[in-house]
């Protein structure tokens, strides 16, 4: 069959390229952009995603699902988020009121467009009526000298099911997920956390839990762990089995947060035995801890403004510096008396 005779499936999309990945990454990484810039970026991403994996084939079949999932993975997008970007962009481009959506002096967010196109808050209005209501609300905002149409106001105008403020309604686990994976909501979530002590504590607990479970999961998956000194070591079969057992317990039930701490501490204890049993690893660990302590001390000293300090120096300050100087001299003398061990670092993250 000649090239002219080849049949191309209508709107079947295309394979994505490295340029597509770079394009999407360049737009989705802008967490500090203005509302309008973020909106334009998401629409541009959505149009590119639709070009690669169209929302729907003319006969109703969905196409390019695997392609879209892989592209989302490579660009750090959740698959549902990638679908939202694509579907909202398509919905906007097909809007019957497209030429009426740029009301002078009034901005609106991505949430507003998503409510109209995807109807996530379950408005009783049909799509065409939702577009008309958006135009009406933009005009009302302009007449009231309001610079922004919020999602909350639009939902009320659409007769949608009321939803609570997203920042205060999210669970701690959801907040951690949002801050980690959704740059566009980082500012709002962090602002809420900054003014709510209870929320701050909850986020801290969830972050600690996630970090510790990640440690246990790595032990199970790779049979390795990173020591406090930065070495990556193989753990014993006993430690790996214990980590696996602890994870199964966590998956089979809904345990309290302290179970994550208990799993982490149990695996850490077994891993510490691995370090203690290997003289080379133990020596490298001690050496790494020494270097870290010296680095911290040096940074503190280098951060002192010598001229200002000299101007206010008193006897107590002079004694402190003299004592430190003596301690460092004693340490240097002691180390110079020891022969070089020449131990090998197996693998280290230490600079």
Say how many C-beta atoms besides its own lie within 10 A of residue 293's C-beta: 10
What span, in angstroms and rounded, lies between the C-alpha atoms of 350 and 26? 31
Length reported for the chain: 351
Helix (H, G, I), strand (E, B) or coil at 266: helix
Tens-place pLDDT, residues 154-191: 888 888 865 544 444 555 556 566 556 655 555 555 66
- In which residue are the tokens 């014993």 written? 236
Pair 179, 190: CB distance under 8 Å: yes
Tokens of 91: 């919905």
Query: What pLDDT, on the 0 to 100 scale, is given for residue 87?
Result: 92
Helix (H, G, I), strand (E, B) or coil at 250: helix
Tens-place pLDDT, residues 315-333: 998 998 899 899 888 888 8
What span, in angstroms and rounded, lies between the C-alpha atoms of 199 and 156? 27
Regions of the chain with pLDDT less than 70 = 1-12, 29-35, 56-63, 103, 161-199, 203, 251-257, 339-351
Query: What pLDDT, on the 0 to 100 scale, is given for residue 176?
Result: 62
- In which residue are the tokens 């317990």 written? 249
Report which DSSP code applies to 98. Answer: G
Q: For residue 148, what are the β-bridge partners?
A: 107
């Amino acid at each position: 069959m000649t090239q002219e005779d080849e049949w191309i499936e209508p709107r079947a999309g295309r394979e994505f390229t490295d340029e597509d990945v770079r394009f999407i990454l360049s737009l989705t990484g802008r967490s500090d952009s203005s509302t309008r810039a973020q909106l334009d970026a998401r629409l541009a991403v959505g149009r590119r995603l639709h070009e690669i994996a169209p929302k729907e084939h003319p006969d109703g079949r969905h196409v390019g699902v695997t392609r879209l999932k892989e592209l989302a993975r490579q660009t750090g997008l959740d698959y549902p988020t990638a679908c939202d970007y694509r579907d909202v962009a398509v919905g906007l481009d097909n809007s019957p009121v497209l030429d009426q959506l740029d009301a002078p002096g009034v901005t609106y967010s991505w949430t507003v467009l998503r409510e109209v196109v995807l109807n996530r808050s379950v408005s009783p209005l049909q799509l065409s009526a939702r577009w008309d209501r958006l135009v009406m609300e933009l005009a009302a905002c302009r007449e009231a000298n309001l610079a922004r149409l919020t999602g909350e106001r639009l939902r009320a105008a659409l007769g949608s099911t009321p939803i609570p403020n997203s920042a205060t309604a999210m669970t701690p686990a959801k907040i951690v997920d949002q801050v980690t994976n959704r740059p566009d909501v980082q500012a709002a979530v962090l602002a809420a956390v900054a003014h709510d002590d209870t929320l701050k504590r909850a986020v801290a607990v969830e972050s600690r839990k996630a970090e510790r479970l990640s440690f246990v999961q790595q032990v199970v998956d790779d049979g390795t762990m990173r020591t406090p000194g930065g070495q990556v070591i193989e753990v014993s079969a006993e430690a790996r089995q214990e980590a696996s057992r602890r994870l199964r317990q966590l998956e089979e039930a809904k345990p309290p947060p302290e179970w994550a701490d208990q799993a982490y501490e149990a695996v850490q204890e077994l891993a510490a035995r691995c370090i203690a049993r290997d003289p080379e690893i133990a020596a490298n660990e001690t050496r790494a801890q020494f270097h870290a302590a010296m680095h911290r001390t040096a940074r503190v000293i280098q951060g002192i403004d010598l001229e200002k300090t000299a101007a206010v120096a008193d006897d107590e300050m002079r004694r402190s510096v003299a004592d430190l100087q003596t301690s460092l001299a004693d340490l240097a003398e002691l180390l110079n008396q020891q022969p070089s061990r020449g131990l090998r670092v197996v693998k280290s993250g230490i600079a």
